[in-house]
Amino acid sequence: MRLALIAVSILWVAAWAQESSDPGTAAAIRALEKQWTVGQARNDNRALDMIFDNALVYVEYGRLVSKGEYLSRIKDQTANLDQISMEPMSVRTFGDTAIVVGTYTESQVIRGKRTMQQWRFVDTWVYKKKGWVLVAAAAAPVAQ
């Protein structure tokens, strides 16, 4: 049953991905998603500041945090390049809006023990004067 559900999910995500209307935009958004991951891993607040909208709605572990709060946390955390492992994502554009759906696996060491959790996310990007900026990001933990 679980295998069938996974197969259906993969087929659906693949179908959704194929409907992405603009390959150039999709590539640009994927590049920004990568910049975000790398920027976070390297505590590069300057890079993140460029790609996050000031009115960003970011939900982290079920809690709403502002852009300032998120950047402060990133600045203070220990740099860890393999903390987030991105997986395939789909990008769909609607005019000046792009919706990204995908998964990532988060690796954390808690009390000396490494834990892995997969998350499924939806990110929303909007094209503004300076280019694409992230306006919302939220994820739900994938049930094991």
Partner 1 sequence: MNKFVLITVTLGLAFSQAPAQSAYDSEIKSRLIALEQLVRVQALPSGDFNTLNAVLADEFVLVTFEGQAQSKTEFLAYWQSFDTLHYMVQDMIVRVHGDTAIVTGRFQMSGVQRGKPFARQGRFVDTCINSDGRWLIIASVSTPAS
Q: How far is the CB of 56 from partner 1 (least distance, A)?
A: 8
Per CB under 8 A, which of residues 49..108 are in contact with partner 1?
Answer: 53, 55, 57, 59, 61-64, 92, 94-97, 99, 101
Beta bridge mates, 101:
90, 122
Cα dihedral value 57, 59, 64, 66, nearest 10:
-50
Asked if residue 121 binds partner 1 (CB under 8 A), the reply is: yes
Among candidate residues 89, 83, 105, 117, the one with its CA nearest the CA of residue 32? 89
Interior/surface letters 85-104, b for 16+ CB within 10 angstroms, e for the rest: eeeebbbbbeeeebbbbbbb
Asked if residue 124 binds partner 1 (CB under 8 A), the reply is: yes
Asked if residue 119 binds partner 1 (CB under 8 A), the reply is: yes
How many residues lie near partner 1 (CB under 8 A)? 38
Asked if residue 126 binds partner 1 (CB under 8 A), the reply is: yes
Q: Rounded to an integer, what distance in angstroms lies between the CA atom of residue 9 and that of residue 95? A: 26
Chosen residue from 7, 27, 81, 142 binding partner 1 by CB under 8 A? 142
Contact at 8 Å (CB) between 36 and 51?
Answer: yes
Asked if residue 141 binds partner 1 (CB under 8 A), the reply is: yes
Instruction: List residues near partner 1 by CB under 8 A.
Output: 5, 9, 12-13, 16, 19, 53, 55, 57, 59, 61-64, 92, 94-97, 99, 101, 118-122, 124, 126, 128, 135-143
